[in-house]
Amino acid sequence: MSEMFAKVALLGVGLIGSSMAHAMRRAGLAGHIAGYSHRIETVDLARTVGFADSLYTDAAACVKDADLVVLCTPVGTFKALAEEIAPVLKPGAILSDAGSVKGAVIRDVGPFVPEGVHFIPAHPIAGTEQSGPTAGFAELFDGRWCILTPPEETDPQAVAKLKAFWEALGSNVEVMDAHRHDLVLAITSHVPHLIAYNIVGTADDLENVTEGEVIKYSAGGFRDFTRIAASDPTMWRDIFLNNKEAVLEVLGRFGEDLSALQRAIRWGDGETLYNLFARTRAIRRSIIDAGQDTASPNFGRGEKK
């Protein structure tokens, strides 16, 4: 594919930022890829990987003359970064992000976007439990969804260009209202992560079961919870603090359903348990049919390409 942007600036060069760089290289989408981290050691590590043409510890210097700027740091940092880079954003540039919440991004970043800059929040729904500049790989977004949540009055041509960009990275793309995005992601991603963090913490807190036994006898269920719970703690802290309304709404419903399960177990209601398990098994099959996972016996986890 031909070059879409003369310069792309990635503020954050962890899993998502580095994977975007690798995918851009694969597709030939950018003439120059600039990367930023406020940590010099992260910049040095990214330099050894070689996915960026230039690297900075100064965000404003990184985005200077960029045609596309993507915030790839934890969402709690977005407001300060937006304020810092606003004076040097190029007129006509697209400012986007890769955060897992969207309402808070519009709230925190929107007020700093200069006239003439196209602000289009985005969320690539892809990832692993790994983090850092060495974790990225070009295939991360292949066949996954990326959701765009442009505010009202956003230039349709800019939205179309960013959509084409993410498609060239390998993603399926959908445009969605920010509020709906946050509710959908609360049930499909945020609350499951919260449950994983909690169950792993509960296992660690059990005084009558040793840590050695938890590790030694972990079968698929608990093992998969630990994989999810190994995700970047800073990123997930910021997600929960910035999507709290939707998360609390879903947690309330989850608590009600959990109480119903407790009653079914207490009273030996096998029919209720079986019906739930059969319904959820069908959802798993639908996810496989949609190409969002595989039915392989390793729980869909293969070697990183």
CA–CA separation, 183 vs 250, rounded Å?
Answer: 8
Q: Is residue 281 part of a domain?
A: no
Mind listing the pLDDT tens digit for each residue in 124-162? 998 777 788 998 899 999 999 999 999 989 999 999 999
Residues 103 and 205 in one domain: no
CATH at 193: 1.10.3660.10
Same domain, 19 and 38: yes
Assigned domain for 304 exists: no
Confidence of residue 305 (pLDDT cuts 50, 70, 90): very low
Confidence of residue 165 (pLDDT cuts 50, 70, 90): very high
* Residue 203 domain-assigned (yes or no): yes
Domain with residue 120: its CATH number is 3.40.50.720
Helix, strand or coil, per DSSP, at residue 115: coil
Q: How many domains does the chain have?
A: 2
Q: What is the dihedral of CA 54, 56, 61, 64, to 10 degrees?
A: 40
Range of the domain at 117: 5-176
Cα separation, 130 vs 124, whole angstroms:
16
What pLDDT digit, counting tens, does each position of 28-45 carry? 999 999 999 999 999 999
Gap between the Cα atoms of 6 and 155, Å rounded: 20
36, 88: one domain: yes
Asked, for residue 279, whether it belongs to a domain, the answer is no
- Which of 176, 209, 242 represents a domain boundary (last residue)? 176
Closest residue by Cα to residue 107 from 143, 124, 82, 86: 82
Banded model confidence at residue 217, pLDDT cuts 50, 70, 90 = low
Considering the domain architecture, whether residues 79 and 171 belong to the same structural domain is answered as: yes
Do residues 205 and 62 share a domain? Answer: no
pLDDT of residue 303: 44
Same domain as 245, residue 202: yes
Checking if the pLDDT of 292 tops 90, the result is no
Assigned domain for 14 exists: yes
Q: Flag whether 288 is in a domain.
A: no
| Residues 138 and 231 both lie in one domain | no
278 lies in some domain: no
Q: 171 with 188, same domain?
A: no
In angstroms, rounded to a whole number, what is the distance separating the alpha carbons of residues 12 and 71? 7
Q: What's the chain's average pLDDT? A: 87
Around 287, how many Cα atoms within 13 Å sit in the side-chain half-sphere?
Answer: 14
CA distance linking residue 261 with residue 152, whole number of Å: 42
- The secondary structure element, H or E, covering residue 8 is strand 5-11
* Claim to verify: residue 171 and residue 259 sit in the same structural domain: no
Note whether residue 305 is domain-resident: no
Highest mean pLDDT among 26-35, 195-204, 220-229, 247-256: 26-35
pLDDT in tens, 231-247: 778 888 888 888 888 88
